[in-house]
Amino acid sequence: MTPTRAEFENELNAIRSNVTRMALLVNTAIKKAMQALETRDENLARQIIADDRHINDLRFQIEADALATIARQQPVAGDLRLIIAVMTIVPELERMADHAAGIAKIAIEMGKEPPLKPLIDLPRMAAIAQEMLTDSMRAFNAVDTAAAKHIIARDDEVDALYEQVFRELVSFMIEDPHTVTRAMYLLFIGHNLERIADRVTNICERVVFLAEGKIEETPGNDSAISLAD
């Protein structure tokens, strides 16, 4: 029996819904990771790490559903672009969850040790990245290229904060080698947050692809100052 257009739309809507659900889980993971860091809540940090498995499972479910839809429906044009976009977006979301888990792991490593400096810029980076992620899902569901390009531009805010944190922490390490361990903890947290924003930018590039059928890498997507991914 030939699938109807209504059945096809139901499949596409289910896939979109799961992508949005995955993004919500990721955003929650980022929020909780920063909370665990600021409050030094080891139990919360360990829960974030454990919950990462559920996000991974959802990624694989979405990818399997997308592939099954291609096999059943043989989509073309905009429908095919949607599925291709989904197949590239969900790995980005899964990696964001990994970054959140990375922050949680650092929070555990830090234990009750006092922070090297007040946590001001790092929470600001996290807040901007979370806003970007939320807005990217709105742009994805609405196929809103103008919104996607606006979100991409916000990555510069996160990069600027990261460079500020990087230079400040390097100064601490130069002035007092005893601060190296605590400074590196904060550097890796900043790196994770900076990469989350970069991955949101990648999602927004896929929104532009979804609307226009072309992929254009955003200039300067990778921060000038970076650590190993």
pLDDT band, very low/low/confident/very high, at 113 (cuts 50, 70, 90)? confident
Residue ranges of the alpha helices (H) in the chain? Answer: 5-39, 42-73, 77-110, 121-142, 145-175, 180-212
pLDDT tens, position by position, 151-189: 999 999 999 999 999 999 999 999 999 989 999 999 999
- For a pLDDT cut of 70, what percent of the chain falls above it? 92
Angle, in degrees to the nearest 10, between helices 77-110 and 121-142: 160
Domains of the chain, CATH where assigned: 5-212 (1.20.58.220)
Quick one: tokens of 127? Answer: 């807040």
Which of 72-76, 200-204, 224-228 is predicted least confidently? 224-228
- For a pLDDT cut of 90, what percent of the chain falls above it? 74
pLDDT band, very low/low/confident/very high, at 41 (cuts 50, 70, 90)? very high
